[in-house]
Amino acid sequence: MARIAREKFIPALHVTEDGELLAVASSSQQGQAQARQLGSKRVYSSYEELLQDPEIDAVYIPLPNALHKEWVIRAAAAKKHILCEKPLALTAADAEEMVSVCKRNGVFLAEAFMYRYHPQLQRVKMLLAQGVIGEVKYFRAGFSYLMNWEKKNIRLDPQLGGGCLFDIGCYCLDALNFLLGMKPEEIYATGVFHPEYKIDIAAAVNLKLEKGILAQLQFSFQQPFSDYCEIFGERGTITLPRAFRPDKAGGQGIILFTDAGGKQQEEVYQGDPYLLQLQVYHANLRTEDNDGAAMSRLIEQARLLEACFASLQQEQVVHL
Tens digit of each residue's pLDDT (9 = 90 or more) over 44-65: 999 999 999 999 999 999 999 9
Beta-strand pair 184-193/200-209: antiparallel
Strand order across the beta sheet in which 222-233 lies: 264-270, 252-259, 236-240, 222-233, 136-146, 214-220, 200-209, 184-193, 318-319
Could you give the residue range(s) of every CATH 3.40.50.720 domain in the chain?
A: 3-113
* Range name among 143-152, 241-250, 264-273, 310-319 with the lowest pLDDT average: 143-152
Could you give the residue range(s) of every CATH 3.30.360.10 domain in the chain?
A: 115-276+289-319
Tens of pLDDT, residue by residue over 110-148, are: 999 999 999 999 999 999 999 999 999 999 999 999 999
- Of 3.40.718.10, 3.40.50.300, 3.40.50.150, 3.30.360.10, the CATH number of 115-276+289-319 is 3.30.360.10
CB 58, CB 285: distance < 8 Å = yes
Rounded to the nearest integer, the mean pLDDT of the chain is 95
Q: What local confidence, expressed as pLDDT, does residue 284 receive? A: 84
> What is the band of 18 on the pLDDT scale with cuts at 50, 70, 90?
confident
Which positions are annotated as active-site residues? Answer: 86
CATH of domain 3-113: 3.40.50.720
Query: What DSSP designation does 242 have?
Result: B
Q: What local confidence, expressed as pLDDT, does residue 288 receive? A: 59
Q: How far is CA 8 from the centre of its chain?
A: 14
Tens of pLDDT, residue by residue over 212-266, are: 999 999 999 999 999 999 999 999 999 999 999 999 999 999 999 999 999 999 9
Burial class (CB in 10 A: 0-12, 13-18, 19+), 247: buried
Phi, psi of 223 (to 5 degrees): -130, 155
Q: Is 61 helix (H, G, I), strand (E, B) or coil?
A: strand
The H or E element containing residue 11 is: helix 10-15
Our CA dihedral for 11, 12, 14, 16, rounded to 10 degrees, sits at 170
